[in-house]
Amino acid sequence: MAETLAASRCPRGRRLVVPPASRCPDHPVRMAAAGVAPLGEVVSFTTLHSPPEGFRAPLHIALVELEGGARLFCHGDETEGVKIGSHVSVEAVDAIVYFSHMGFADRARLFWRRAGARGERRASIGKSVVKGMWSRRSRGND
Amino acid sequence: MGDEDSQPGEVTLARPPGGVGPYARTGTELSGRADRDPPSPAGRGAHAPHANTLPRGPEAGWKGYVNDVWIGGAGMTRFGRRDEKLPDLMAEAALAAMADAGIDRPDAVVVAAMNPEEFTGEGNYGSLIATRLGLSHVPALRVETATSSGVAAVYMAFAAIAAGLHRSVLVVGGEKMTHLATPRVSEIIGRSIDPHEKSYGTTMPALAGLVTRAAMHRRGLTLREISQVAVKNHAHGARNPYAHFRDPVTLEAVMESRLVADPLRLYHCCPISDGGAALLLTVERRAVRIAGIGQGGDTLAVRYRRDLTSFRATQAAAAAAYRMAGFGAERVDVAEVHDAFTPFELISLEDTGLVPPGKAGRATLDGETAIGGRLPVNTSGGLKARGHPLAATGISQLVELCWQLTGRAEGRQVEAHVGLAQSIGGLATNNWVTLLEGRR
């Protein structure tokens, strides 16, 4: 997994944006430089069948929410198997960010890192199981 | 600027830059007559702009405007593929509105055109249209807020009359698009998208596709529900001689039409249309009054929003319009909403409080929003069937409501005393809600 993505944070509202921007959209202040891990969840995605000039069809576009709340647009090779809430890693190639599915090992590593100290791991595992059951249940309603 | 992030309703001494005047009323501040606001949408406040601090409301001796504003006349062209040039389409609508009002010398002209420079190569549209109408001596200006430009122009005219600057103002909007190839039209409309997001190949349908998928996932909208909106609006359009599409469509045809931006299909999207629409606003007491009008904004960048599945700009606009009118959604009998993409009709019905959260899809399937239902929505056919000549659209919504409120909506007349129109600019960056009230 790659290094951090360049981002900006508003000193007043704490909003984090990617790519970096000089001004906050909510406050008339200059944003400070920040970095975010290139890992996140899919907020939504679409496949454009007649993309604008300069893009090949089908064009897979996803909106991904990174850790810390910044959202960014990404391209992908496919959306097969992608769901809202899917864990993805993102990587910038020639100024365009691409998303890709995280493998099991990546997800496990991420989970372990997030879980933090050993004492909290048990609670995290519990939370994860509940979350999994819940998302499976709500998906059934779609 | 030393204050921390202001919360809605919080009193601060720092006055926001430029946050005075009518625009201040449409912000996210929630002070004043809170009992008349629709339910505050969840999840707001995290990035709330500064609360405005100027006193307002009747208790502060400030009702918001001086004069009542009436719609003296309404007119529009048939929407669709038209051979006429844009100034001629606008003139056709404007002359109809002036004749309807019996006023041929308004004090001012406000013109709405989203992007005639690119679509037709002409500019300076205020003067161009005033001259075309034989009103070259009348002050004229042009207003633009992307796809909601028409209502922005209505608002300017409303403000001028409400403030006592003018006694009558002609508002006319229009767009000419069908002479260009679809990719070129998409590209021109796409210039209203955030430049970074546009650099990823996003178009309006792509952003609407993202919104739709998120709404289906989080709000439980179904493909059948968003498709039924198209069926209903085509059925309404078939009864409207001004509509672009006059043919009904079946649910199967909608659900099997080709994919544009997954999960959106062709029949979920409005067409590219030519047309013009006009209103003559006056301080004279007439049949229909503008009871409330409100504007709401949101970030140009969709990635900066916390919620994809409802539009903060609509919620803020609705709150402002209801506050000005002094009544809420419960009094609305008929509505025209911005169904550029059919799921937007469902989202808009909930954002304006016309339908309780999560119920718009069911209400549509049950026929509640069809002509003859509890709350007829888009009796004109909406953007979906009436058509969407960008800057004409917001005005044409009000034209339809005017006709409904005065018993002139031949072939599709409903029983109505209060009408609501909602217009979306860009991908819900600059939205408007207008309330019209017929005289009893």
pLDDT-derived band at A126, boundaries 50, 70, 90: low
Q: Which amino acid is at B195?
A: P
Q: Which amino acid is at B150?
A: G
Does B201 contact A17 at a Cβ distance shorter than 8 Å?
Answer: no
B40 burial via Cβ count (<10 Å: 0-12, 13-18, 19+) = middle
- Cα(B238)–Cα(A112) distance, integer angstroms: 60
Average pLDDT (B340-350) is 98
Measured between beta carbons, the chain B residues lying within 8 angstroms of A45 are: 210, 213
Residue of B200, B302, B430 to mutate for A, most A C-beta atoms under 10 A: B200
Tell me the whole-structure pTM to 2 decimals: 0.85
Domains in chain A, start-ordered, CATH in brackets?
5-102 (2.40.50.840), 105-136 (no CATH)
Name the helix (H) or strand (E) containing B175.
strand B168-175
Whether complex ipTM tops 0.85: no
Residue B58: predicted pLDDT: 62
pLDDT one-digit tens code per residue, B13-24:
333 343 333 333
Q: Which one of B5, B197, B218 has the shortest CB-CB distance to A13?
A: B5
Rounded alpha-carbon distances, angstroms, from residue B282 to B158, B164, B290, B324: 9, 11, 10, 18
pLDDT one-digit tens code per residue, B348-391:
999 999 999 999 999 999 999 999 999 999 999 999 999 999 99
Measured between beta carbons, the chain A residues lying within 8 angstroms of B4 are: 12
The CB-side HSE value for A76 (13 A sphere, CA atoms) comes to: 25
Q: Does residue B195 have a cis peptide bond before it, meaning omega lies within 30 degrees of 0?
A: no
Contact B278, B172 (CB under 8 A): yes
Does B183 contact A96 at a Cβ distance shorter than 8 Å?
Answer: no
pLDDT one-digit tens code per residue, B121-141:
999 999 999 999 999 999 999
pLDDT one-digit tens code per residue, A17-44:
999 999 999 999 999 999 999 999 999 9
B257 vs A: CB within 8 A: no
More confident residue, B23 or A81: A81
Residue A128: predicted pLDDT: 62
Does B259 contact A29 at a Cβ distance shorter than 8 Å?
Answer: no
Does B206 contact A19 at a Cβ distance shorter than 8 Å?
Answer: no
Asked if pLDDT for residue B48 goes beyond 80, the answer is no
- Cα(B176)–Cα(B86) distance, integer angstroms: 5
Asked if pLDDT for residue A60 goes beyond 70, the answer is yes
Does A44 contact B258 at a Cβ distance shorter than 8 Å?
Answer: no
pLDDT-derived band at A112, boundaries 50, 70, 90: low
- Interacting residues of B327 by C-beta distance below 8 A, sequence separation 6+: B36, B291, B418, B435
Residue where the block lists tokens 């406040």: B45
pLDDT-derived band at B239, boundaries 50, 70, 90: very high
Asked if pLDDT for residue A2 goes beyond 60, the answer is no
Measured between beta carbons, the chain B residues lying within 8 angstroms of A53 are: 183, 187
Two tokens at B313? 């700009």
Asked if pLDDT for residue B255 goes beyond 70, the answer is yes
| DSSP, res B35 | G
Asked if pLDDT for residue B179 goes beyond 90, the answer is yes
Q: Does residue A19 have a cis peptide bond before it, meaning omega lies within 30 degrees of 0?
A: yes
Residue A13: predicted pLDDT: 85
Domains in chain B, start-ordered, CATH in brackets?
70-178+276-286 (3.40.47.10), 187-273+308-438 (3.40.47.10)
Q: Which amino acid is at B19?
A: G
Taking CA–CA distances from B299, the nearest residue in chain A reads A25
Q: Which one of A18, A46, A52 has the shortest CB-CB distance to B210?
A: A46
Residue A88: predicted pLDDT: 94
Taking CA–CA distances from B4, the nearest residue in chain A reads A12
Q: Which amino acid is at B60?
A: A
Two tokens at B14? 């720092």
Residue of A44, A75, A79, A142 to mutate for B, most B C-beta atoms under 10 A: A44
- Cα(B265)–Cα(A142) distance, integer angstroms: 18
Residue A14: predicted pLDDT: 87
Q: Which one of A13, A19, A48 has the shortest CB-CB distance to B47?
A: A13
Q: Which one of A15, A55, A63 has the shortest CB-CB distance to B210?
A: A63
Does B209 contact A59 at a Cβ distance shorter than 8 Å?
Answer: no
Q: Which one of B17, B203, B213 has the shortest CB-CB distance to A44?
A: B213
